[in-house]
Amino acid sequence: MQKLTLLGATGSIGASTLDVIQRHPERFSLWAVSAHRQLERLAEIITKYQPAVAVVADAAGADRLATLLAGVSHACLIRHGAEALCEIASAPQVDTVMAAIVGAAGLAPTLAAARAGKRVLLANKESLVMSGDILLEAVRSSGATLLPIDSEHNAVFQSLPDGFPHGLDGAGVRRILLTASGGPFRIAPLESLHAVTPEQAVAHPNWVMGRKISVDSATMMNKGLEVIEAHWLFGVGADRIDVVVHPQSVIHSMVEYADGSVIAQLGNPDMRTPIAHALAYPERIESGVASLDFMRLAGLCFEAPDLRRFPCLRLAYEALKAGGTASAILNAANEEAVAAFLDRRLGFTGIAHVVEACLDALGADAADCLDSVLAADARAREQATTLIAARMH
């Protein structure tokens, strides 16, 4: 029986994770859950899955959750705050931690899980983007296991030799090909992009996801973050990670080998596949995902990403090449810009402008300790907030 902590239980990855584990009560039990604002949803999850501990944002949220759970016979310890998140991620009772908080808020608990030697299922790509070196060092020194949940990285992982113990060169890998759907604006007229609304941007053609990652998919910053994530996960330079636009989202990513072979992982676009893969690895379990119906596929298309349309992808490659805290600056500026866009304080095309201006204004330092990463994150948020306010006037 694997005991799980599910960070971000009320989100989109949280819901898919709950769906997979409820299919296998003999394998998985939920020990702890976390949420931020959706307390009603969290109360439903606690009532159904009966975890021992739940963590929410603050004391008021904890009181409200206690009220919502009054009359529920199951006893669940309610905690709050960032420290409690780290505690449920590293507690001795836990084997596996699903890191599915969105954004930089996921960094500290993910790192705590890695330092405690857990099996870490990583959905929170932002933590690797911000501090890949630090997170991987924690994994190495504690003996933790890091398994990718992002469908692309999970696909790459599945297309590599088991565990690839001798690195990508030892495995004869030439390059990694990350597929990208191109999002909702792949063929929209360029001059129409400045008027895109949050509702249009979050309407992804193939995937149902949280709002922040949906906007990131529309700008292709998501693919940029994934390039950086792939660099850390697979130990490969930016020059060997290519992005291929594949609008059907059936091929989730590919690995090309020295002999010219290309191995791909295919399936319906449903996050329960990579979640089930990582939960059961190295075994395979039922995920609830329907079989891919090849007879009904209209075709598989591929094209190069248009960097004029998607400047965020270019910026992510540049940040990766710049090294140090550049990726943390990129990530923080993007989070602030996306939040402002969703809040209608910034136009869609303003997201890339704000990120680029922050990267230009703030020089990258060495990202050798958590303090320098967090300092870069804070400086970038301050700079982005100023730029967003200035653009409004």
Residue 6 found at the interface with ligand NDP (CB under 6 A): no
Residue 213 found at the interface with ligand NDP (CB under 6 A): yes
- Concatenated DSSP letters of 116-183: TT-EEEE--HHHHHHHHHHHHHHHHHHT-EEEE-SHHHHHHHHHSSTT-TTHHHHTTEEEEEEEE---
Using the contact rule CB under 6 A, the part of the chain among 8-16, 130-138, 194-202, 245-253 near ligand NDP is 8-16
Q: Which residue is nearest to ligand NDP (CB)?
A: 11
Residue 61 or 357: the one with the smaller Cβ distance to ligand NDP is 61
CB 39 to ligand NDP: min, Å: 7
- Concatenated DSSP letters of 265-325: EE--S-THHHHHHHHHTTS----SPPPP-GGG------B---TTT-HHHHHHHHHHHH-TT
Residue 101 or 373: the one with the smaller Cβ distance to ligand NDP is 101
Q: How many of the chain's residues bind ligand NDP (CB under 6 A)?
A: 27
Token readout for 128 is 């690797």
Near ligand NDP by CB under 6 A: residue from 18, 100, 108, 362: 100
Residue 13 found at the interface with ligand NDP (CB under 6 A): yes
Residue 207 found at the interface with ligand NDP (CB under 6 A): yes
Residue 6 or 357: the one with the smaller Cβ distance to ligand NDP is 6
Residue 320 or 357: the one with the smaller Cβ distance to ligand NDP is 320
Residue 271 found at the interface with ligand NDP (CB under 6 A): yes
Residue 11 found at the interface with ligand NDP (CB under 6 A): yes
Beta partners for residue 245, in sequence order:
180, 303
Residue 136 or 361: the one with the smaller Cβ distance to ligand NDP is 136
Near ligand NDP by CB under 6 A: residue from 123, 135, 155, 254: 123
Using the contact rule CB under 6 A, the part of the chain among 122-130, 173-181, 316-324, 337-345 near ligand NDP is 122-130
Residue 90 or 357: the one with the smaller Cβ distance to ligand NDP is 90
CB 297 to ligand NDP: min, Å: 21
What does each C-alpha distance from 103 to 27, 126, 128, 246, 263 come to in angstroms? 29, 6, 11, 26, 31
Token readout for 351 is 């997201």
DSSP state of 54: E
**Closest to 129 measured CA to CA, from 33, 216, 227, 209:** 227
Residue 58 or 303: the one with the smaller Cβ distance to ligand NDP is 58
CB 206 to ligand NDP: min, Å: 10
Find the radius of gyration of the CA atoms of the chain.
20
What does each C-alpha distance from 293 to 100, 119, 350, 369 come to in angstroms? 29, 33, 40, 48
Sites for ligand NDP among residues 281-340 (CB under 6 A): none
| Cα gap 390→144, rounded to integer Å | 44
Residue 228 or 271: the one with the smaller Cβ distance to ligand NDP is 271
CB 194 to ligand NDP: min, Å: 25
**Closest to 171 measured CA to CA, from 77, 236, 225:** 236
Q: Which residues contact 216 (CB under 8 A, 6 or more apart)?
A: 222, 225, 312, 334, 338
Residue 35 or 329: the one with the smaller Cβ distance to ligand NDP is 35
CB atoms under 10 Å from CB of 199, counted, come to: 7
Using the contact rule CB under 6 A, the part of the chain among 89-97, 205-213, 249-257, 276-284 near ligand NDP is 205-213
DSSP state of 53: E
Give the distance, in angstroms, between the CA of residue 15 and the centroid of all CA atoms in the same chain: 15
User: Taking the chain, what is the end-to-end CA distance rounded to the nearest angstrom?
Assistant: 57
Residue 36 or 115: the one with the smaller Cβ distance to ligand NDP is 36
Sites for ligand NDP among residues 124-183 (CB under 6 A): 124-126, 150
Token readout for 84 is 């409690």
Residue 37 found at the interface with ligand NDP (CB under 6 A): yes
Q: Which residues contact 310 (CB under 8 A, 6 or more apart)?
A: 219, 220, 223
Residues that bind ligand NDP (CB under 6 A): 8-14, 35-38, 100-102, 105, 123-126, 150, 207, 209-213, 271
